[in-house]
Structure 1
Amino acid sequence: MIRHLVLFKLNEGVERDDPRVVAGVAAFRALPEQIEELRSWECAWNITDRPIAYDFAINSAVEDTGALQRYLEHPAHQAGVALWREFATWVIADYEF
């Protein structure tokens, strides 16, 4: 199995209630119903307020590198990524477990 972690930081001046952000969150929350490669899926807002904290996180799992690639290339995932590019930056980690 491969764990796919993503941490998002909203751009300066962008708030959680911004309509673009609301649409981006909705797009990511809908992915488990659209992408069969996902074996587990969690996404949520950070609940702490620390200077080094990121704002939003995705914690997901897929079977193998092929499934990860199919997930990354899936049109629904790409559409969500395109939304988030407008208002956030992110870091990722993919590891086997």
Structure 2
Amino acid sequence: MIRHLVLFKLNEGVSRDEERVQAAFRAFEALEGQIPELTFWEYGWNITDRPIAYDFAINSAVADTDALKRYIEHPAHQAAAALWREFATWVIADYEF
């Protein structure tokens, strides 16, 4: 199994209440039902206020590297990521467990 972790940081001046941010949130919310490779899908907004904290996180899992590639290349994932790209940056970690 491969764990796929993503931490998002909203750009300066961007609020999670903005409609474009909420639209991107909804796009990620819908991925679980659209991408069969996802064996685990969890996401949420950060609840702490610390300078080093990121704003939003995705914690997911897929079976293997081929499934990870299919997930990353899936049109629904690409569309959702494109929305986030407009107002956030992120870091990713993929590891086997």
TM-score range with shorter-chain normalisation? over 0.9
- Asked if residue 22 in structure 1 is aligned to residue 30 in structure 2, the reply is no
The alignment partner of 1:44 has SS state of strand
Between the aligned partners of 1:30 and 1:40, the Cα distance in structure 2 is 13
Between the aligned partners of 1:20 and 1:73, the Cα distance in structure 2 is 22
> Any stretches of 5+ residues in structure 2 without a counterpart?
none
Aligned position for 2:72 = 72
Q: Which runs of at least 4 in structure 1 moved beyond 2 Å after TM superposition?
A: none
Between the aligned partners of 1:42 and 1:50, the Cα distance in structure 2 is 22
- Asked if residue 93 in structure 1 is aligned to residue 97 in structure 2, the reply is no
- Asked if residue 52 in structure 1 is aligned to residue 55 in structure 2, the reply is no
Between the aligned partners of 2:12 and 2:95, the Cα distance in structure 1 is 30
When the two structures are aligned, how many residues end up with a matched partner?
Answer: 97
> Any stretches of 5+ residues in structure 1 without a counterpart?
none
CA RMSD of aligned residues (A): 0.3
TM-score in terms of structure 1 length = 0.99
The alignment partner of 1:23 has SS state of helix
What amino acid maps onto 2:61 in structure 1?
A
Q: % of aligned pairs identical?
A: 78
Between the aligned partners of 1:15 and 1:60, the Cα distance in structure 2 is 24
What amino acid maps onto 1:30 in structure 2?
A
